[in-house]
Amino acid sequence: MKHLAILGSTGSIGQSTLSIVEQFPERYSVATLAAGRNIDQAFQQAVRWRPRLISLATEELAGQLDARLRQAGVTGVEVAHGSQGVVACSTHKDADFVVSAIVGVAGLEATHAAILAGKPVGLANKECMVAAGEILTAAARERNVPILPIDSEHNAVHQCLRVGAHSEVKFIWLTASGGPFRQLPLDQFAAITPAQALKHPTWVMGRRITIDSATMLNKGLEVIEACRLFNVPPSQVRVTIHPQSTVHSLVEYVDGSILAQISVTDMRLPILYALAYPERPASSLNFDLAALRHLDFEQPDLVRFPCLRLAFEAAEKGGAHAIALNAADEVAVQAFLDGRIPFLGIPRTIEGVLAATPEAHPATIAEVLASDKQAREQARALLA
Ligand code: MG
């Protein structure tokens, strides 16, 4: 039985993780939940799962939840708040596996703390790896703590890497759906609205990641994530546009063999893989091979998707540039969603922030967060 700490329990990955727990009660239980701001959902989760500890974003929300739980006669659920509350969830003595699914660098401290506490991590939060991958992977290696990718592409790569040695890998191929604007005429990009960008053709995901898929910045973050997770340079990571999103990624070996992972586009599969690794429990997530008509692969167009070019440049420089890429994007995406900048303002903002970022390699989480903050301020200054 694995007792889970789920960081980001009210988000889409958190909810999918809870549905896995529901399906496999003999394998998994809930130890702690870090729930953010959605108090109604946090209340329902606390009542349903009775975690030892649940954390909310603010002291005020935590107070409200505590009162509601007492009113409902629910006892034994401790309520915490803030970043300390999330760390308390990820390092709780009763948790023996941490699902890190808080979007953004907000999940970084707690993920690092979990690794330091020796707890295996299922990582859905790519921003952690982008901002602090060197620090996290070094800590994990030192303590022999597995980091299992939940991001579907990296999960696919992890599976494909099980059949060969690191030195035998030629390229890691990350597939990308190409998002909703893969074929939109370039002269219409300036007029793209948030509503259009929020319609992803194959995956249902959170708002920021859906916009990041439309700009392909998401794939850029995944290139950096792959470099860190699998210890390869950016020159060994390639991106291919695969609109069907059926092949979740591929590994090309030096002998010319290419291995691909194919499955339904359902995040429960990578989550279950990460939770159960190295086992493979039987699931109902079947893929109908007979329904597979064709698979398309095409080269990404870096003029159409400047964010992908910027990400490869940031991947080469690493350190502060990877942090700035992620931070500037988060600020720019929010500005786009708020209607303050056009779609093309997103790459413009990122490019401006990257140009102003000095080459540096933060060595501690505190330095990473300071560098992140600086890049956000830079982005806001550019937008003002
Ligand atoms: Mg992905």
Residue 379 falls within a domain, yes or no? no
Question: Tell me, what's the pLDDT at 377?
Answer: 98
User: What is the CA(152)–ligand 1 centre distance, in A?
Assistant: 5
- Beta pairing class for 28-36 and 2-7: parallel
d(CA 235, CA 313): 11
Per-residue pLDDT reduced to its tens digit, 82-119: 999 999 999 999 999 999 999 878 899 999 999 999 99
Per-residue pLDDT reduced to its tens digit, 27-66: 999 999 999 999 999 999 999 999 999 999 999 999 999 9
Question: What is the average pLDDT score of the chain?
Answer: 96
Tokens 């990257």 — which residue?
A: 354
Q: Are residues 101 and 162 in the same domain?
A: no
User: What is the CA(70)–ligand 1 centre distance, in A?
Assistant: 39
Per-residue pLDDT reduced to its tens digit, 323-346: 999 999 999 999 999 999 999 999
> Under DSSP, is residue 305 helix (H, G, I), strand (E, B) or coil?
coil
User: What is the CA(239)–ligand 1 centre distance, in A?
Assistant: 12
Count of CA atoms in the C-beta half-sphere (13 A) of 140: 23
% pLDDT > 90, the chain: 92
Task: Give the CA distances from residue 180 to residues 14, 183, 203, 210, 213, in Å, rounded to whole numbers and listed in that order.
Answer: 25, 8, 11, 10, 8
Question: Tell me, what's the pLDDT at 160?
Answer: 98
User: What is the CA(62)–ligand 1 centre distance, in A?
Assistant: 32
Q: Are residues 167 and 309 in the same domain?
A: yes
Contact 7, 107 (CB under 8 A): yes
Q: Are residues 138 and 178 in the same domain?
A: no
Q: How confident is the model at residue 203 (pLDDT cuts 50, 70, 90)?
A: low
d(CA 85, CA 113): 12
Instruction: Give mean pLDDT, residues 190-199.
Output: 93
Q: Are residues 294 and 312 in the same domain?
A: yes
Residue 337 falls within a domain, yes or no? no
Q: What letter would DSSP give residue 156? A: H
Residue 45 falls within a domain, yes or no? yes
| pTM strictly above 0.85 | yes
- Beta pairing class for 2-7 and 97-100: parallel
- Spatial CA neighbour of 124 closest among 107, 142, 146: 107
Question: Tell me, what's the pLDDT at 204?
Answer: 67
How many domains is the chain built from? 2
d(CA 169, CA 224): 17
Assess whether pLDDT exceeds 70 at residue 311. yes
Residues with Cβ within 8 Å of residue 100, at least 6 apart in sequence: 7, 8, 90, 107, 110, 111, 114, 121, 122, 123, 124, 125, 128
User: What is the CA(222)–ligand 1 centre distance, in A?
Assistant: 7
Q: Are residues 91 and 136 in the same domain?
A: yes
Q: How confident is the model at residue 292 (pLDDT cuts 50, 70, 90)?
A: confident
Assess whether pLDDT exceeds 80 at residue 201. no
Residue 246 falls within a domain, yes or no? yes
Q: Are residues 103 and 170 in the same domain?
A: no
d(CA 233, CA 302): 20
User: What is the CA(67)–ligand 1 centre distance, in A?
Assistant: 38
Residue 328 falls within a domain, yes or no? no
Q: Are residues 296 and 176 in the same domain?
A: yes
Query: What's the N-to-C CA distance of the chain in angstroms?
Result: 52
Q: Are residues 228 and 205 in the same domain?
A: yes
Instruction: Give mean pLDDT, residues 278-291.
Output: 93
Indicate the helix (H) or strand (E) that contains 173. strand 169-176
Q: Are residues 92 and 215 in the same domain?
A: no
User: What is the CA(153)–ligand 1 centre distance, in A?
Assistant: 5
User: What is the CA(154)–ligand 1 centre distance, in A?
Assistant: 7
What domain range is 174 assigned to? Answer: 154-265+286-317
Q: Are residues 180 and 291 in the same domain?
A: yes
Contact 324, 314 (CB under 8 A): yes
User: What is the CA(213)–ligand 1 centre distance, in A?
Assistant: 9
Q: Are residues 199 and 253 in the same domain?
A: yes
Residue 95 falls in which region: left (phi positive, over 0), alpha (psi -120 to 50) or beta:
beta
Contact 247, 176 (CB under 8 A): no
Instruction: Give mean pLDDT, residues 129-143.
Output: 96
Question: Tell me, what's the pLDDT at 199?
Answer: 86
Q: How confident is the model at residue 209 (pLDDT cuts 50, 70, 90)?
A: confident
Q: Are residues 113 and 206 in the same domain?
A: no
d(CA 90, CA 106): 13
